[in-house]
Chains A and B, each alone.
Chain A
Amino acid sequence: MPKRRLDPLPAAAFQILLALADGELHGYAIMRQVEQQTNGRMRLGPGTLYSSIQAMLEDGLIEEVGREGESEASRERRRVYRLTTAGRKLARSEADRLADLLRVARAKKILRGDYV
C-alpha cells in the first residue's frame, strides 16, 4: 500500500487548510494568508504551495471552485480553492492534536502562559 502523503499532515498543508478556513482563496492569496498567519515565518513558494494543493485536492481535503463546466477561456484565470468538509475535519483534528501537545507541554512546565 502506498504511503499516504498527508499522514502525518505536513506543516505547509495544515497552514493551507487554516488559510482556507475563512473562505475561498486562490494560490497567491493562500501564500499571503499563510505568511500573515505565521507572522512571516512561513513563505510558501510555488513549488511547495502547489505540490501541497495537488496532494490535498487528490485526498479530497480541498476543492477547486467553479472548475467544472467552465469555459476554456475562463480556465486562464486564477484557480480558487476552498475547504471541503473532510478538510475542515482534518484541520480540526490536527488543531486538537496540537492543542493536546501544548497542554502536555504546559503541564510539564515546558510552556508557560494561558493562551492555549
Chain B
Amino acid sequence: MSEKIYACLLKLFPSRFRREYESEALLLFRDRYREERGPMRKLRLCLDLLVDLVAGLPKAYQNSLAAGSSLAPEGHAAPPFQVLESEPLRPGAVLLGTLLSFSAIVCFAWAMGRDIGERLAPVNEPKSPVEMVMQRLNQPMQPEPSAQPATQPEAAAPANSNASAATPSSNGQVQPPAQQDLLQYQQQTSLGRPQQGAMVRASGESGSMSAASRPESAVNASQPGGRVLPASRASSNGVVIATGMRTGESASGVPTAARDAAAAMSQSEPASSISTAQPNVENATHAMVRLMRTHQIVMFGETHGDKQEYEWLCALVKDPAFASQVDDIVVEFGNSLYQKTVDRYIAGGDVPQEQIEKAWRNVIGAVGPVSPVYGWFYKAVREANRQRPSGHQIRLLLGDPYGDWEKIHDAEDLGPFVAHRDAWYAQVVKHEVLAPHHRALLIMGAGHFLRRNGPGLVERAIRDAGVQPYLVVFGTNAVGGYDVLDLRFNKWPTPAIVSLQGNWVGELPANPVLTGGVVAPNAQKMEDVADAMLYVGSRDTLMQVNVPRSDLLDTAYGKEVERRLQIQIGRTMEFTQPLEEPQYHRPLQQVSSNGIHLTPPNPPKSFRDPLPPRPPSQ
C-alpha cells in the first residue's frame, strides 16, 4: 500500500484528528513501510493498516464527538453543536448532503402520494385492526337519513333500495326485489338512446323544432309534485340523470345553478374545511394500469355512448401493461345469453358481424338503438388478444341478464330481466371473477356504481366477498349549472384520472360534474360518490356516437328497436339523430309544446318475479 493510498484513507478520519495527527500518522506509516521488507511482511503491514483503519475510525470519531460535547456547559442536557467556523464544510459534503436531502424528499413525496390503504395490505388478505381503521377512515362518510338535505334527490334512495332488495342469495339464485315501483322500472331501462323529439311527435304532438332534440327528462320536468323522471335520456347522460334528478331541480334553472352549487357546498361543510389542494392528474392509461396492479377489482362508471371515453377504453385494453394483468372485463353492454359467441369472437374466432352484434344490441337495459361504441370495444378486446396469441388473454364477461328479445313480447316478459340487472351483474362478478380470484375491470353505467347512499349493489357484493374495489367514474368540467364550466380543467392533459380524495375536484358537487351540468347540484360531493374521476375533455368537446340512420331506417334492426320501445315505454320514435352529436344538450323548458305531460308507463306485474331459469348460452 503506497503512502498516497494511505494518505487518501486518512481522509476518512475526522478533520480534527487529521489536523493534529495526519503528519504523525504518515510518518509512522513511512517508518513501518521502510522496516517491513519482503512481500509477505509488506502484505502483513497492509492488513494491519486496514484493520487499524476499521478499529481506529470509530475511536477517532468518538474523540471528536466527545470534544464537541465538552463544549456544552456542565449539567446541561442540550445537544452540543460543533462550531464550523474553523472547520468549514467541504463542497463535496455539501453536494452529497443536497443529493441525499433531495432523494429523501422524492421518496417521501412518492410514499405520501400512494393510497395508504393500498400499501397496508393486498386486497384479498385479512386486514389488521390498524388497516381496518385506515380503511374506515378512507371511506366517504355516509349522511344520516334524518340529516338528508331537502335537495337530496328522492330518486337516489329508491335506486339503491332497489339494488339492496334484489341481491343474489347465498345459493346463487337472484331473488325477486322486495319493492319495486315505477321509478325503479324506468331506471333499469337505461342503456339505449330513445329520441325524445320523435316520441313527442309519435304521441300526436307536432312539437317545436327545439323539442326534437329535447331530453324526455326535460320535457317532463315541470311535472308538479317533484316526481322523478324516467331515464330515457340515459344514452347521453346515462343513468346518472335517472338516479339523480327530481323535477323540481331539473336543469331549467341554468342561471341559478351556480348559486345552487354554492348553497349545496355550504350546506355540506363549513368553508374552512373545503380542500383546495391540487389533485394529482395522472395519465388515464397509466393510472388504470397502476390501479389494476393494486386492486383486484376496479369499477368504472361510464357515460353511455361517449366517443372520447370509448376511444380511450379501446386504447386501454390494447395497452400491453393493462392486458397482461387483467383477466376479465365485465360489461353492462353485453347480454349474457351470447357469452359463448363472445368468447369465440374475442378469442379470434370467425364470427359473423350480425351474430356478434347481438351481444350489445340485444341488451335488456337498452332503450332505443345501442351506440356503436360498444362494438368498438368488443373489437378492441379481440385485437388485444390477437396481439398476444400465446400470452395472457382477456375475457369479456357479459353482465346483462340473459333475456332473449325473440321471446319477449310484452312488458310482463321483460319485467323480471329489467328488475334484476344489477343483481345479475353482481352474480356474474361473483361467480366468474371473485370465485376464481381473477383480476377484473368492471364497466357499467355510472348510475349503477355511484355511492349515492353508500356502495351500490354490485360494490356491496364485492365487499361482502372481502375485496375492496376502486371506483372511477366519468366526469366533466361542468361544476354548477349547464353554463358553469371550471377553467381549471383546461390545464389537464386528456384523458386523465384524478383521485377525488383530499383535493378540490373531490369537493365539487357530484350531480353537475357527472351529468355535464344538466342536473343541478345537491349536497353530495364527488368524493362522496367515487374514488376517482376520468376526464376525457371539456364538456362541450364530448361527442355521443349514434347508430347510423342507414342501419335503422327500413331495416330489421330499426323495426326491432321500435318494437322494443313499444314494450319498454309504450311509444316509438323517429330515427333522426346524426351520427355524432354533443354528448350533453342544454336542458330546455320542461313543458311539451301542447302542455300535455308525458307519463311514463306503469311497471309490469312481473317486475317482482324472480329471473326465469337461464337458457343455454348461444
Tell whether A69 is near chain B: CB-to-CB under 8 Å. no
Minimum distance in angstroms from B41 CB to a CB of chain A:
12
Give the distance in Å from the alpha carbon of A76 to the alpha carbon of B26 in the complex. Answer: 12
Tell me, yes or no, whether B104 is within 8 Å of chain A by CB. no
Q: Are A45 and B63 interface neighbours, CB within 8 A?
A: no
Q: Does A52 contact B (CB under 8 A)?
A: yes
Query: Is A36 an interface residue, CB under 8 A from the partner?
Result: no
A51 and B59 form a contact (CB under 8 A): yes
Q: How far is the CA of A8 from the CA of B519 in the complex (A)?
A: 81
Beta-carbon contact of B20 and A45 below 8 Å = no
Q: Is B594 interfacial (CB 8 A cutoff)? A: no
- Residues on B with beta carbons closer than 8 Å to the beta carbon of A55: 59, 63, 66
The 10 closest A-B pairs by CB, nearest first: A45-B52, A47-B56, A46-B25, A51-B59, A50-B21, A2-B69, A48-B56, A51-B60, A47-B52, A46-B28
Within 8 Å CB of B57, what residues of A? 47
Judge whether B70 is part of the interface by a CB distance below 8 angstroms: yes
* Distance between Cα atoms of A54 and B29 in the complex (Å): 18
* Complex contacts, B67 vs chain A, CB 8 Å: 58
Considering only residues 4-42 of chain A, those with a C-beta below 8 Å from chain B are 5, 27-28, 31
CB distance from B273 to the nearest CB of A (A): 49
Is the CB of A88 closer than 8 A to any CB of chain B? no
Q: How far is the CA of A44 from the CA of B26 in the complex (A)?
A: 14
- Interface membership of A78, Cβ < 8 A: yes
Report whether B27 and A5 are in contact in the complex, using a CB–CB cutoff of 8 Å. Answer: no
| C-alpha gap A54/B56 in the complex (Å) | 12
| Contact between chains at A47 and B13 (CB < 8 Å) | yes
Task: From A3, A51, A79, name the one whose CB has the most chain B CB atoms within 10 angstroms.
Answer: A51
Closest partner residue, chain A, to B62 (CB atom): A5
Interface positions, chain B 13-38, Cβ under 8 Å from A, are 13, 17, 20-21, 23-29, 31-32
Contacting residues, chain B, for A5 (C-beta < 8 A): 59, 62-63, 66
Query: Taking CB as reference atom, which chain A residue is nearest B21?
Result: A50
Minimum CB–CB distance from B34 to chain A (whole Å) comes to 11
Write out the residue numbers on chain A whose beta carbons fall within 8 Å of the beta carbon of B48: 43, 45
* Closest CB in chain B relative to A6 CB, distance in Å: 10
**Contact across chains for A54 and B17 when beta carbons are under 8 A apart:** yes
| Contacting pair A58 B63 (CB below 8 A) | yes
Take A5-B63, A55-B63 as given contacts and tell me if A49 and B13 are in contact as well, using a CB distance cutoff of 8 Å: no
Indicate if the CB atoms of A28 and B31 lie closer than 8 Å.
yes
Q: Which residues of B contact A51 (CB under 8 A)?
A: 17, 56, 59-60, 63
Q: Beyond the given A27-B27, A47-B57, A50-B56, could you list 17 further A-B residue pairs with CB under 8 A, ordered by the A residue number?
A: A2-B65, A5-B59, A5-B66, A27-B24, A28-B28, A45-B55, A45-B56, A46-B21, A46-B26, A46-B28, A46-B29, A47-B52, A48-B56, A54-B20, A54-B21, A55-B63, A55-B66
Query: Is B51 in contact with chain A by the CB < 8 A criterion?
Result: yes
Contacting residue for B24 out of A44, A50, A52, CB 8 A: A50
| Cα–Cα distance between A58 and B55 once the two chains are bound (Å) | 20
Q: For residue A54, which residues in chain B have a CB less than 8 angstroms away from its CB?
A: 17, 20-21, 60, 63
- A contact residues vs B (CB 8 Å cutoff): 2-3, 5, 27-28, 31, 43-55, 58, 76, 78-79
Cβ A47 vs Cβ B53 within 8 A? yes
List 16 A–B pairs whose Cβ atoms lie within 8 Å, in order of A's numbering: A5-B62, A27-B27, A28-B31, A45-B52, A46-B24, A46-B49, A46-B56, A47-B60, A51-B56, A51-B60, A51-B63, A54-B17, A54-B20, A55-B66, A58-B66, A78-B24
For A47, list chain B residues within 8 Å (CB). Answer: 13, 25, 52-53, 55-57, 59-60
Residue from the set B25, B51, B69 with the largest chain A CB neighbour count within 10 Å: B25
> Is B24 a contact of A79 with CB atoms below 8 Å?
yes
Q: Does B55 lie within 8 Å of A48, measured CB to CB?
A: yes
CB distance from B543 to the nearest CB of A (A): 75
Give A50's nearest chain B residue, CB to CB. Answer: B21
Residues of B within 8 A of A46 (CB): 21, 24-26, 28-29, 49, 52, 56
Most chain B CB neighbours (cut-off 10 Å) among A27, A46, A54: A46
Contacts of A45 in B (CB 8 A): 48-49, 51-53, 55-56
Q: Which residues of A contact B70 (CB under 8 A)?
A: 2
> A95: shortest Cβ distance to chain B, in Å?
22
Nearest Cβ on chain A to B478's Cβ, whole angstroms: 67
Complex contact A52–B59 (CB within 8 A): yes
CA distance A27 to B23 in the complex (A): 11
B59 contacts A48, C-beta separation under 8 Å: yes
In the assembled complex, which residues on chain B have CB atoms less than 8 Å from the CB atom of A43?
48
Q: How far is the CA of A31 from the CA of B49 in the complex (A)?
A: 13
Q: Which residues of A contact B29 (CB under 8 A)?
A: 46
Give the Cβ gap from B306 to chain A, nearest Cβ, in Å. Answer: 71
User: Which residues from chain A contact B24 at a C-beta distance below 8 Å?
Assistant: 27, 46, 50, 78-79
Q: What's the minimum C-beta distance from A72 to chain B, rounded to whole angstroms?
A: 13
Task: Mark each residue of chain B from 55 to 84: 1 if its CB lies under 8 Å from any CB of chain A, else 0.
Answer: 111011011011101100000000000000
For the complex, give the distance between the alpha carbons of A3 and B52 in Å: 23
A31 CA to B24 CA, complexed, in Å: 12
> Once the chains are docked, how many angstroms separate the CA of A55 from the CA of B67?
9
CA distance A43 to B55 in the complex (A): 12
Q: Mark B486-504, 1 if CB is under 8 A from A, else 0.
A: 0000000000000000000
Which residues from A are CB-within-8-Å of B65? 2
